[in-house]
Amino acid sequence: MRARRISKAFTLAVAAVLALGACTGTPPAPKESTATATTSQGGNITVLEPAPFTSFNAASTTGQGATNTRIDYATHSGFNYVDSGLKLVKNDKFGKYEKISDKPLTIKYTINSGVQWSDGAPVTAADLFLQWAAASGYYNDATLDPAFKVVKGSAYFNYGGDTTGLSQTSMPVIGDNGSSLTLSYTKPYSDWETALGSTVSIPAHIVAVRAGLKDADALVSLLQGIPKGDPSAPVKPNPELRKVADFWNTGFDTKSMPDPSLALSNGPYLVKGITAGKELVLTRNVDYNWGTVPTLDTITVHYNSKAGAQIAALKAKTADVASPALTADNLAALAEVKSDGVQTQVGNTLGFDQAVLNFKGVLAKPDLRTAFLKTVPRQDIADQVAKPLNPDATVLNSFVFRAVQTPYKESTSSNGSAGFAAADIDAAKKLLAGATPTVRILYNKDDPVRAAEFDLISASAQMAGFTVTDGGKGSAQWLQALKDGAFDVALYGWTSNPTGSVQVPQVFRTGAPSNLNNFSNTVVDQLTEQLAGEPDDAKQNALKMQIDKLVFGAGYGLPLFQRSAAAAYGPHVSGVQYSPVPVGVWWNVWDWKYVK
């Protein structure tokens, strides 16, 4: 459903603050604080997260959020995960997935015998079927207004992710005595390996009973008997499906420890207890052997949104792991607590900043777009804004690749970014030919990084003859202004997907949910269509390189730099490693060990 796709796009992609994640490769592991430190089985460590836990369903629109996602990751398992080098790692101990046909694209998922929920019930294809039902939008027949409200028909599952891939599948087939599920796509889809999700998080047998059905088999029978929704011919809402969807949507939301059946795990840890707004306690799942077995007895999660308080807790050893927001002051504070055994890893995230031009309005003319882009002092921005936080920060020269990715150097050598390596005021003046167009620059004025970018860009543009209007908005207003297109130039960021290519069409295709600046190019549209259906990695990269070049050539805007972030940990934990993925340092939680 488009409303859900655009909601997720803004939640995960428009980076108003630092997005925790990717480093440009794996940073070297800092030395332990003492030569005699030894790791041991068991033990407890404390992790600080900025926001409280609120839901056991991190895939719903009400449950999505960083803390929920990280707890979900620690308490559930699945077919694969993304490591700190942005590589997709298969978990063959959980099960396997295999492509059994290219025409049509057909994928079979099989769960291994012995994989179970913490109440002893087996993880089965019914759990995969429910996950598909929620993430595909298959049953929706809703028509939406421009504000994405339902005006007729029904929208059932409030899924917080992107439905692009699974919406192209037909009704799944369950086999092998309920241990396998086979999906067939109506057209090729490049990101099929991650389309169904990396973890299996919601128990179908619990949802079934809570919705008034006998068991998981009855739930599957219900879902199998309902046809695909058609917005052009909506039907009377199905009351049984509505009960199932309503419970999936909000039934797992909670701020305190719920009925244990709503906190089931199939992963390395279990949620043992929750104190609303204060802490959450994880305990080791002693039955878990379908993945790397953890060693810690417990992990206690406390909440504090203030970076200064996080750093103070690391110093006092009342916390062991934290990811404080990276600012010059916080970086200095982290350096000061190094003598207390606190180690810090800093690197580039998957979030990057950019200056994007609106193709409607004063910059609709190509020459004016080029003139403005010639004024953007990208090197100065990197030197003055990015490098003080990360000495390795550089100008970003691609819209579709990050520096850690192999095609980055090849694409940047030919995409046209070299023509905008530094500000060229004389070239901009020549293109303006005496004109003094007024441009309105939108940015989040509550973000000091964006405010600094505005100051540098504004001063440079005015030197060339542009009249600049400060369109800065507060945190509560700027995103709406961005969605409304109330700008000529906008300073904002995307957080790239750690794997796959699905985000490229979402951003650059004409009319796409995340195309916020009215960019339209028929060749780019054709290439994004090919990209969405191309399964071969090398061919995907070739298509993305063409898109990268065309976007630069059209005067879309300019990428500026990748944001940086920090992960810090104290002397009583080892195995913590800065990561490029949305779950941050939690990506290898099973490797964390207590240090005496």
Q: Residue 5 falls within a domain, yes or no?
A: no
447 shares a domain with 334: no
Domain hosting 390: range is 348-564
243 shares a domain with 181: yes
520 shares a domain with 395: yes
Structurally, the chain folds into a number of domains equal to 3
| Helix-helix angle 307-316:328-336, to 10 degrees | 10
Longest dimension (CA), the chain: 76
Q: In the predicted model, what is the mean pLDDT of the chain?
A: 91
Q: Two tokens at 363?
A: 């910059």
What is the CATH classification number for the domain harbouring 269?
A: 3.40.190.10
393 shares a domain with 278: no
The pLDDT of residue 37: 58
Ranges 122-136, 261-275, 570-584: which has the least confidence: 570-584
> Of the residues 250, 274, 289, which one is the last residue of a structural domain?
250
Spatial separation of the C-alpha atoms in residues 27 and 347, rounded to whole Å: 8
Spatial separation of the C-alpha atoms in residues 108 and 90, rounded to whole Å: 14
Sign of CA dihedral 410, 413, 416, 418: positive
Spatial separation of the C-alpha atoms in residues 363 and 156, rounded to whole Å: 41
Q: Residue 228 falls within a domain, yes or no?
A: yes
What is the band of 432 on the pLDDT scale with cuts at 50, 70, 90? very high
Q: For residue 391, what are the CA distances in angstroms to 23, 28, 31, 242, 373? A: 13, 15, 20, 53, 25
Q: Two tokens at 137?
A: 């939008």
Pair 157, 212: CB distance under 8 Å? no
Q: Residue 22 falls within a domain, yes or no?
A: no
- What average pLDDT score do residues 449-467 get? 97
The pLDDT of residue 500: 79
**Which of 114 and 197 is assigned the larger pLDDT?**
114
The pLDDT of residue 532: 85
Spatial separation of the C-alpha atoms in residues 582 and 577, rounded to whole Å: 13
The pLDDT of residue 506: 87
385 shares a domain with 313: no
| Helix-helix angle 239-250:125-136, to 10 degrees | 90
543 shares a domain with 412: yes
pLDDT in tens, 30-57: 333 333 457 768 999 999 999 999 999 9
Q: Two tokens at 291?
A: 């993945």
Q: Two tokens at 254?
A: 């909670």
352 shares a domain with 240: no
pLDDT in tens, 214-224: 999 999 999 99
**H, E, C per residue of 569-583:** ECCCEECCCCCCCCC
pLDDT in tens, 542-594: 999 999 999 999 999 999 999 989 999 999 999 999 987 889 999 999 999 99
553 shares a domain with 473: yes
Q: For residue 368, what are the CA distances in angstroms to 243, 341, 419, 490? A: 55, 54, 16, 16
Q: Residue 33 falls within a domain, yes or no?
A: no
What is the CATH classification number for the domain harbouring 128?
A: 3.90.76.10
The pLDDT of residue 496: 81
Question: If you ran DSSP here, which 8-state letter would residue 229 be given?
Answer: P
- The length of the chain is 596
The pLDDT of residue 580: 78
- What average pLDDT score do residues 431-448 get? 95
Q: Residue 128 falls within a domain, yes or no?
A: yes
> Of the residues 250, 275, 290, which one is the last residue of a structural domain?
250
pLDDT in tens, 64-78: 999 999 999 999 999
362 shares a domain with 476: yes
The pLDDT of residue 4: 32
Pair 342, 336: CB distance under 8 Å? no
- What average pLDDT score do residues 347-367 get? 94
207 shares a domain with 158: yes
Spatial separation of the C-alpha atoms in residues 212 and 247, rounded to whole Å: 10
Sign of CA dihedral 56, 61, 62, 67: positive
Q: Residue 17 falls within a domain, yes or no?
A: no
Question: CA neighbours within 13 Å on the CB side: how many for 69?
Answer: 21
Beta pairing class for 438-442 and 557-569: unpaired
553 shares a domain with 468: yes
Spatial separation of the C-alpha atoms in residues 594 and 574, rounded to whole Å: 7
Question: If you ran DSSP here, which 8-state letter would residue 39 be given?
Answer: E
pLDDT in tens, 134-157: 999 999 999 877 666 888 999 999
pLDDT in tens, 363-395: 999 999 999 999 999 999 999 999 998 888 999
The pLDDT of residue 16: 32
- What average pLDDT score do residues 449-471 get? 97
8 pLDDT above the threshold of 70: no
Please list the alpha-helical segments (H only) found in 178-238. Answer: 192-195, 204-210, 216-224
Q: Residue 53 falls within a domain, yes or no?
A: no
Q: Residue 28 falls within a domain, yes or no?
A: no
189 shares a domain with 69: yes
The pLDDT of residue 230: 95
Question: If you ran DSSP here, which 8-state letter would residue 386 be given?
Answer: I
> Of the residues 250, 269, 292, which one is the last residue of a structural domain?
250
Q: Two tokens at 350?
A: 């998957």
What is the CATH classification number for the domain harbouring 379?
A: 3.10.105.10
